[in-house]
Structure 1
Amino acid sequence: MIAFSKEFTSRCQKEDQKAQKELFEKLYAPMYRVCFRYIGRQAEAEDCLMKAFMKIFQKLETFEWQNEHSLFFWIRKIMVNEALMELRRNNLLLVVQSENLPEEVEDSNTIDQLSAEELFGLITKLPDGYRTVFNLYVVEGYSHQEIARMLSISESTSKSQLLKARGRLKLMVEKMNNVYGSYAG
């Protein structure tokens, strides 16, 4: 999480191009990762990022500074919303209906043993519906009720997609461990 002073934020709001360029450069990489985590494809994630930054710079004057992290969270929220709109525009916000996956994944600590980079890579391989709900719930911290409202689905569908995402991740981790384990011996 990147902190921004009130003075720096004010400069950005007053359309100080140097400050806005600095803001863009500091947030490009972490916000690209947010977009990519939802979109899962490089070119579309970059387009989403640029559209979101255009909105950010157009709406920056409406932002109200609260603390050194509030600008970062405000921008991240816009990135998430833009990614969701991009998925909707391309009809990619589809819910996966049925799949045979492990029922119980909470007891497994195999996911906990992954590095952040490994987990990020696996999340991007999830189907769009699973990935979207997983990101909103686990990464962004939204409740199932909020997710249901955001995605126009039921709470039970949100819960089901999260369970399926975790099950798919568990299978992917187990497969990865089997592949890497076979090279170790």
Structure 2
Amino acid sequence: MEDDQLKEIIERCAAQDRSAQEQLFKLFYGKMLGVCMRYTKDHDRAQEVVQESFIKVFDKLGEFDFKGSFEGWVRRIMVNASIDAIRKRNRQPFSTDEEYVFNERSSVQEHDFDEDITKIKAEYAMEAIQELSPAYRTVFNLFVIENYSHKEIAQILDITEGTSKSNLAKAKQNLRKILSEKFVNIDHER
């Protein structure tokens, strides 16, 4: 879709044009459902978050200044709504009672893991990510997929940077275990 066409649809949506709102919803629904699915295990819950988020998108369209990516702006609303949904379901899903100590060895392990994960089919990786706890899954998604820094994640989730780092390290450790089990099971199925 051309930028001019998208701009016209956005402007019509801001003027409360229902057909334009439906068009915008259909245009971004699939991608945004994928974004929300990374944060919640439940497909129905992800659909609810997308729908609730689109209400926010339509309410806040007047704040979009056309200077950045509209899709990025919508994605940020979806991510924040997904995090809010997790918070509502779990009182303190992001807290941890221990801080992860980073050293040169853990940095090497992170690098090795990042190289390994790119070799795995996306469907297995996404399934494994869905098996993580809400806290680990959220920090992993924000850091690895959304490219937030630990400082930004700490601010978004109201946790310390150390907790963010700890949750990421534990998420990666759990992913290694889940994926190794999946691949052992796959090999046995053949």
Could you tell me which of 108, 112, 125 is aligned with 1:107? Answer: 112
Percent of aligned pairs with the same residue? 36
For 1:126, what is the secondary structure of its paired residue?
A: coil
- Residue 66 (structure 1) aligns with: 67
CA drift of 1:93 comes to: 4.9
Q: How far apart, CA to CA, are the structure 2 residues paired with 1:176 and 1:142? A: 28
Q: How far apart, CA to CA, are the structure 2 residues paired with 1:118 and 1:53? A: 29
- Residue 152 (structure 1) aligns with: 158
Q: What pairs up with 1:38-117 in 2 under 5 angstroms? A: 38-66=39-67, 70-91=69-90, 93-95=92-94, 104-108=109-113, 109-117=115-123
- Residue 135 (structure 2) aligns with: 129
Which consecutive unaligned segments of at least 5 residues does structure 2 have? 99-105
What letter matches 1:87 in structure 2?
I
Conserved 8 A contact 1:93-1:128:
no
What letter matches 1:32 in structure 2?
L
- Residue 30 (structure 1) aligns with: 31
For 1:107, what is the secondary structure of its paired residue?
A: helix
Aligned-pair Cα RMSD in Å: 2.0
For 1:106, what is the secondary structure of its paired residue?
A: helix
What letter matches 1:84 in structure 2?
I
Could you tell me which of 176, 183, 187 is aligned with 1:177? Answer: 183
Which consecutive unaligned segments of at least 5 residues does structure 1 have? none
CA drift of 1:73 comes to: 0.7
What letter matches 2:178 in structure 1?
M
Q: 1:41 to 1:143 in 2, by over 3 A?
A: same
What letter matches 1:107 in structure 2?
D
Could you report, residue by residue, the CA deviation over 1:16-63 in whole angstroms, capped at 9, with x for unpaired residues? 222211110111111111112112212221211111111111111221
What letter matches 1:53 in structure 2?
F
What letter matches 1:60 in structure 2?
L
Conserved 8 A contact 2:124-2:179:
no
TM value normalised by structure 2: 0.84
Q: How far apart, CA to CA, are the structure 1 residues paired with 2:44 and 2:29? A: 14
For 1:40, what is the secondary structure of its paired residue?
A: coil
For 2:132, what is the secondary structure of its paired residue?
A: coil
> When you count helix as a share of all residues, which structure comes out higher?
2
TM value normalised by structure 1: 0.86
Q: How far apart, CA to CA, are the structure 2 residues paired with 1:18 and 1:90? A: 33
